[in-house]
Amino acid sequence: MNEFRKELEENILPFWAEKMVDYEHGGFYGAIDGHNRLQEKANKGVVMHARILWTFSAAFRVLKKESYLNIANRAFEYIKLHFIDAKFGGVYWELDYLGNPVNKKKQTYAQGFALYAFSEYYRATSIPEALTLSKAFFEQIESLKDQETGGYWEAFTEDWQPIEDMRLSDKDENEAKTMNTHLHILEPYTNLLRIWPDQQVIRAQHELLDLFLHKIYNPKNGHLQLFFDKNWNSQTDTISYGHDIEAAWLMLEAAEVLNNTELKEEVATTSLAIALASAEGLLADGSMAYELKDGVLDKERHWWVQAEAVVGFQYLAVQFDQVHYLEYSKILWKYIQNELIDYENGEWYWSRNEGGSINRKDDKAGFWKCPYHNGRMCLEMMAFQSKK
């Protein structure tokens, strides 16, 4: 069996299917901590549930196993029943373990992941309701645009009014617009175009890529800028190496689906520059550092950064015949196999600390730690290897 398929089918997916399903209260448990202890009463996040829906839908679409469809169906029904706001539209940010809303904040990022999940579920099942929801969430996201300077506002209250605290997490800056949210609107719009190539989606995706090329990308250093005020003035000089390499391949994917020759050429040039800059984050052991902030390099090896770097460098290697990127991808995968996969308890550790110790203070599964980054890595690498 292909080693990426083995990782997906024998480690990642079984962990979520066997350990995270909440049979008593519905959906999936909110967390398993870094010591592999189930937190039965942890709050449930919409991002985690949407990412589970995306992952198991994609796995079913590719591998056709009914057990994956069963998990996807469960996630789809739970999101519909508990996370979707029947009154104001969109999805809530957070529920308690019983399924009651405890944070009704409308994060644009979360709407994007709901769309990503619904569109993939439709790709896998052709269920009309999934397409209807995909279109509805696209329309909702488009209503969140800044009509003056472009892009999407970061967050809103329950009824879509301006909100003071717009942050995704405590790690983020409280700014009107962010690279991260725009990246995770670009990503679902690419998927939506695969099932609904409507002119309004095409136009919105062109506008998004234009923002990445001319507002978010910094040609002076090759990196993406992360936080902006409403007029697209950058507010920090922090560099996120994982987001750099993730964006490099997601931009290429978006341009490929749009299939505009001139745009593909411009995106290719920029993606190559971003990938080159992201390689500044590669460490001596072949892994990728987290970020550079205030001149200090954070050498914690986060699971998602390594997963996206495997895909990103492989993508660049194949698209542009860059052999050194292929080598980067191989070494990163070896690092994951040796340092991040939990062979005893399943899934991956959140990270390795700078000194090499396992980070157990952050969850093994939870609000942010989901099967999406590593699951998608496996699926993408399986696709690359099938084309050889």
Phi, psi for 256 (deg, rounded to 5): -65, -45
Predicted pLDDT at 305: 98
pLDDT for 297 beyond 70: yes
Q: What is the pLDDT of residues 104-154, one digit of tens each?
A: 999 999 999 999 999 999 999 999 999 999 999 999 999 999 999 999 999
Q: Domain range for residue 135?
A: 3-386
**By the 8 A CB rule, do 34 and 364 touch?**
yes
pTM to 2 decimal places: 0.98
Q: Is the pLDDT of residue 40 over 70?
A: yes
More confident call, 279 vs 388: 279
Q: Up-side HSE of residue 40: CA atoms within 13 Å toward CB?
A: 4
Amino acid at 310: V
Helix axis angle, 66-78 relative to 46-63, nearest 10°? 150
- What band does 209 get if pLDDT is binned at 50, 70 and 90? very high
Residue 117: closest CA among 157, 168, 66, 59: 59
Could you tell me if 306 and 241 are in contact, meaning their C-beta atoms sit under 8 angstroms apart? no
pLDDT digits (tens, 9 = 90+) for 174-189: 999 999 999 999 999 9
In this structure, the number of other CB atoms found within 10 A of the CB of residue 293 comes to: 14
| Percent over 70 (pLDDT), the chain | 99
Per-residue pLDDT at 387 exceeds 90: no
Q: What is the distance between the alpha carbons of residues 320 and 156, in angstroms, rounded to a whole number?
A: 41
The stretch 25-43 carries a mean pLDDT of: 98
> pLDDT tens, 211-237?
999 999 999 999 999 999 999 999 999
Per-residue pLDDT at 166: 93
Q: Could you tell me which of 149, 55, 92, 45 has the C-alpha nearest to residue 363?
A: 45
Q: Please state, in angstroms and rounded to a whole number, the distance separating the CA atoms of residues 103 and 116.
A: 21
Residue 372: which of 5, 12, 4, 2 has the closest Cα?
A: 12
Residue 388, pLDDT above cutoff 90: no
- Residue 203 to residue 206: CA distance in whole angstroms: 5
**Amino acid present at 260:** N
Identify the CATH number of the domain in which residue 70 sits. 1.50.10.10
Q: How many domains does the chain have?
A: 1
Residue 280: DSSP 8-state: G
| Closest residue by Cα to residue 106 from 149, 54, 153 | 153
Say yes or no to pLDDT of 386 above 90.
no
194: pLDDT strictly greater than 80: yes
Is the pLDDT confidence value at 273 over 70?
A: yes
Taking the C-alpha atoms of residue 125 and residue 134, their distance in angstroms, rounded to an integer, is 13
CB atoms within 10 A of CB 26: 17
Q: Which of 154, 106, 111 is nearest to 133 (CA)?
A: 111
- CA angle (369 as vertex; 368, 375 as ends), nearest 5: 120
What H or E segment, with its residue span, contains residue 101?
Answer: strand 101-103
Confidence of residue 1 (pLDDT cuts 50, 70, 90): low
Q: Helix 108-125 crosses helix 46-63 at what angle (to 10 degrees)?
A: 20
